[in-house]
Structure 1
Amino acid sequence: METFIDIVLFILLVCTALAVVRTQSLFATAMLAGAFSLLSALLFVTLDAVDVAFTEAAVGAGISTVLMLGTLALTARFERPPSHSPVIPLFVVLVTGAALIYGTLDMPSFGDPNAPAQVHLAPDFIQRSPEEIDVPNIVTAILASYRGYDTLGEVAVVFTAGIGVLLLINGLRHRRRRKDKEDA
């Protein structure tokens, strides 16, 4: 059942990505990008990466969507037709995708019990966490202690993005107030 859910989420991600590429409405593109981030967060949850899912939902779906909508308020509502051929960007994307796929060919299979993370890291964390950290949940011990700086960095990114959104919204309000005063 879990594999079925993962496949459905991947299919929805691909469909959403294709819809983002094909639509001409910038508002629809911003909304679809937010939906793509939420689908990614759901996929991370099914893969037991809840911390990454939370960050993706907060930054990808929340803050990025608000920033795109704020930018959309300052620009046109529809995309202009491109003035150049899309062949070179398509070629660059295909070469980059091929390089990324080639780079993952030597990775262990998903869930492989003989993967380095399962053989070297996991037993070490399971053994040392109760003694060193004294937190009963090993995932919490890893996130709060061993990866403490990484988690602090994620929190700082989310906080900074939130402050940026608040400043953007505040700037848009002042700009509209000035424009209303000039029009009056």
Structure 2
Amino acid sequence: MIINVLMLMMAVSVVVIIRSRNLFAVILLSGIYSFLMATVLVAMDAVDVAMTEAAVGAGISTVLLLGALYLCKSEEANAPSKPFVPLLISLSVGGMLIYGTLGLPEFSDPKAPIHVHVAPRYLNEMKQEVDVPNVVTAVLASYRGFDTLGETTVVFTAGAGVVALLRRRRKGSKS
């Protein structure tokens, strides 16, 4: 029942975001949406994913977007003089990403390596090896603990880099 209420609140916040023209309100509503999503994840016993959503989605993203809004002027920027170069680069990268997915197994293919080797081991031996009731938490915290630590280090480093860049620009703009 609580998940349905939270999902309804998320849907309402999305509709308000789409209809809003105030950037400050959009940023705050995006943070609220992320917080609601983190709450849904907690209700679904995916605490590790909820912590990441709360930290990155509701926390860091909201703060960085508010900082960027503070640094930006309210005037609209001029359109780029040659918009075809960024468009060509975006299309090229998108094409390479699509080409890279062509070698992947079909979605939900029961003969894919993950379904044949990895998932059965996690599901069958998780209770004896880890004794964590949530499969996602067991995989991220135990089986892939060092990988998860590396991912959080990358996210933290990226956030610290953005904050450093924003602070540098702010100091440079006053002098």
With normalisation by structure 2, the TM-score equals: 0.64
Q: Deviations over 1:74-133 (max 9, x none)?
A: 3355989xxxxxxxxxxxxxxxxxxxxxx99x8xxxxxxxxxx6x76333111234xxxx
- Offset of residue 155 of structure 1: 1.1
Return the alpha-carbon distance in structure 1 between the equivalents of residues 76 and 37 of structure 2. 25
SS of aligned partner of 1:48: coil
Return the alpha-carbon distance in structure 1 between the equivalents of residues 28 and 54 of structure 2. 14
Does 1:26 find its partner at 2:27? no
Does 1:68 find its partner at 2:69? no
Structure 2 counterpart of 1:126:
127
Does 1:163 find its partner at 2:160? yes
Return the alpha-carbon distance in structure 2 between the equivalents of residues 147 and 176 of structure 1. 43
Return the alpha-carbon distance in structure 1 between the equivalents of residues 55 and 148 of structure 2. 14
Kindly provide the amino acid, as one letter, of the partner of residue 123 in structure 2. Answer: A
> Structure 1 residues 126 and 76, CA, compared in 2 at 3 Å: closer, same or farther?
same
Does 1:50 find its partner at 2:51? no
Return the alpha-carbon distance in structure 1 between the equivalents of residues 126 and 169 of structure 2. 48
Q: Deviations over 1:39-62 (max 9, x none)?
A: 010010001011000000111111
Kindly provide the amino acid, as one letter, of the partner of residue 2 in structure 2. Answer: I
Kindly provide the amino acid, as one letter, of the partner of residue 18 in structure 2. Answer: V
Structure 2: any 5+ residue segments left out of the alignment?
A: 78-105, 109-118
- Offset of residue 73 of structure 1: 2.0
Please, which of 38, 42, 47 is the counterpart of residue 41 of structure 1? 38
Kindly provide the amino acid, as one letter, of the partner of residue 18 in structure 1. Answer: V
> Structure 1 residues 124 and 59, CA, compared in 2 at 3 Å: closer, same or farther?
same
- Offset of residue 31 of structure 1: 0.5
SS of aligned partner of 1:24: coil
The alignment-based identity, stated in percent, is 46
Please, which of 138, 149, 154 is the counterpart of residue 152 of structure 1? 149
Return the alpha-carbon distance in structure 1 between the equivalents of residues 12 and 54 of structure 2. 19
- Offset of residue 142 of structure 1: 4.1
